[in-house]
Amino acid sequence: MSPTARRRFLQSAAFSAAAFATPGLFAEALTATATTTEGPFYPDKLPLDTDNDLIIVNDSITPAVGEIAHLTGRILTTAGEPIRNAFVEIWQVDNAGVYLHSGDTRIREKRDANFQGYGRFLTDAKGQYYFRTIKPVPYTGRTPHIHFGISRNGRRIYTTQLFINGHEQNDRDGVFRGLRDEAARKTVLVDFQPLKDSPIGELTANWDIVLGKTPEDKDHGAVKGGIGKPEAGRGGPGR
Q: Write down the pLDDT at residue 110.
A: 85
Q: Calculate the CA dihedral of residues 212, 218, 222, 225 and round it to 10 degrees.
A: -70
Q: Return the closest-CA partner of residue 167 out of 145, 148, 199, 187.
A: 145
Decide: helix, strand or coil at residue 219. coil
Distance CA 49, CA 82 (A): 27
Identify the pLDDT of residue 47: 87
Tell me which of 2.60.130.10, 1.10.1740.10, 3.40.50.720, 3.40.50.150 is the CATH number of domain 3-21+29-211: 2.60.130.10
DSSP tag of 216: P
Predicted pLDDT of residue 33: 98
- Note the pLDDT of residue 7: 52
d(CA 63, CA 201): 14
Across the chain, the runs of DSSP E, i.e. the strands, are 68-77, 87-91, 118-122, 128-134, 145-152, 155-164, 189-190, 193-194, 203-206, 209-211
pLDDT at 77: 96
Residue type, 173: D
**Domain parsing of the chain, residue ranges:** 3-21+29-211
* DSSP, residue by residue, 21-41: GSTT--SSPPPPPPP----TT
pLDDT one-digit tens code per residue, 88-103? 999 999 999 999 998 8
pLDDT at 96: 94
Verdict on whether the full-model pTM lies above 0.85: no
**Rounded to an integer, what distance in angstroms lies between the CA atom of residue 121 and that of residue 89?**
7
Q: What are the residue ranges in the chain where pLDDT is below 70?
A: 1-28, 106-108, 213-226, 231-239
| pLDDT recorded at residue 9 | 58
Please state, in angstroms and rounded to a whole number, the distance separating the CA atoms of residues 199 and 95: 21
Q: Please, where are the H alpha helices in the chain?
A: 3-17, 174-178, 182-186
Alpha carbon distance 32, 46 (integer Å): 29
